[in-house]
Amino acid sequence: MTLNPDLVRLPDWGFHLSYWVADGDPAPEVPFPRDWEVCGVPDFDPLAMRHQDRRRGLITLAWPMYHPSNPMVELDAVCRFLEQMTAEAMAIWLSMQDRYLSVSCGDIEMDAAELSTRGFFIAPELMQRLRRLKIRLRVSFHPHAGTRMNIDY
pLDDT tens readout for residues 34-81: 999 999 988 887 777 777 778 888 899 999 998 887 888 999 999 999
Going by their DSSP bridges, the two strands 36-44 and 149-152 should be labelled as unpaired
Rounded to two decimals, the pTM is: 0.78
**For the CA atoms of the chain, what is the radius of gyration?**
18
pLDDT tens digits along 106-152: 666 665 556 566 666 788 999 999 999 998 888 877 666 565 555 65
The span from the CA of 121 to the CA of 52, in Å, is 41
Q: How far out from the chain centre does Cα 61 lie?
A: 10
